[in-house]
């Protein structure tokens, strides 16, 4: 039968080890499964938000995004008061940590490219919408290619 002090030492060692945060080989803390929210800015003064789902196996999926970035229109009007977003169900699977998502619809075109790390993300995007001038003439409004960075 083990001596009582050896059992106490073993119990304390297990307790302490169980309360320490897990660390990856790079030294950064491991992000648990669940949702992670990244918020940040664009190089043209806008904002971005991403909701990422991390599965229990570590796979990343995009649950949704919001872009709030100034758009310059063909008539030189700058649109600053609109946010654009999209949610995915089921979630959009990322290629490892890489996002490359685009659409080309009648009223909107966008491409969002980026890389998600444990607590940071960065990339670039383009966004373009159909709009009208004050006299009703159709025109396009776009961000052009802008960089973005975000943190969780």
Cis peptide preceding 149, ω within 30 of 0: no
- Please give the residue range of the domain that contains residue 122: 32-151
Q: Which of 123, 129, 125, 120 is nearest to 151 (CA)?
A: 120
In the three-class reduction of DSSP (H, G, I as helix; E, B as strand; rest coil), residue 58 is classed as: coil
49 assigned to some structural domain:
yes
- Specify the number of domains making up the chain: 1
Q: C-alpha angle with apex 54: 53 to 56, nearest 5 degrees?
A: 135
Q: Which CATH number does the domain housing residue 73 bear?
A: 2.40.128
pLDDT tens digit string along 5-32? Answer: 333 333 333 333 333 333 344 445 667 7
pLDDT tens digit string along 40-52? Answer: 999 999 999 999 9
Question: By the 8 A CB rule, do 148 and 123 touch?
Answer: yes
């Amino acid at each position: 039968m083990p001596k009582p002090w050896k059992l106490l030492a073993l119990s304390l060692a297990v307790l302490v080890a169980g309360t320490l945060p897990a660390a990856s080989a790079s030294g950064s803390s491991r992000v648990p499964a669940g949702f992670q929210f990244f918020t940040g800015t664009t190089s043209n003064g806008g904002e971005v938000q991403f909701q990422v789902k991390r599965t229990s196996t570590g796979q990343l999926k995009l649950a949704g995004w919001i872009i709030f970035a100034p758009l310059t229109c063909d008539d030189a009007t700058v649109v600053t008061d609109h946010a654009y977003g999209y949610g995915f169900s089921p979630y959009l699977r990322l290629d490892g940590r890489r996002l490359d998502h685009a659409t080309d619809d009648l009223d909107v075109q966008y491409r969002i490219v980026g890389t998600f790390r444990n607590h940071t993300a960065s990339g670039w995007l383009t966004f373009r919408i159909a709009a009208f001038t004050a006299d009703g003439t159709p025109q396009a409004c776009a961000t052009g290619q802008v960089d973005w960075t975000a943190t969780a």
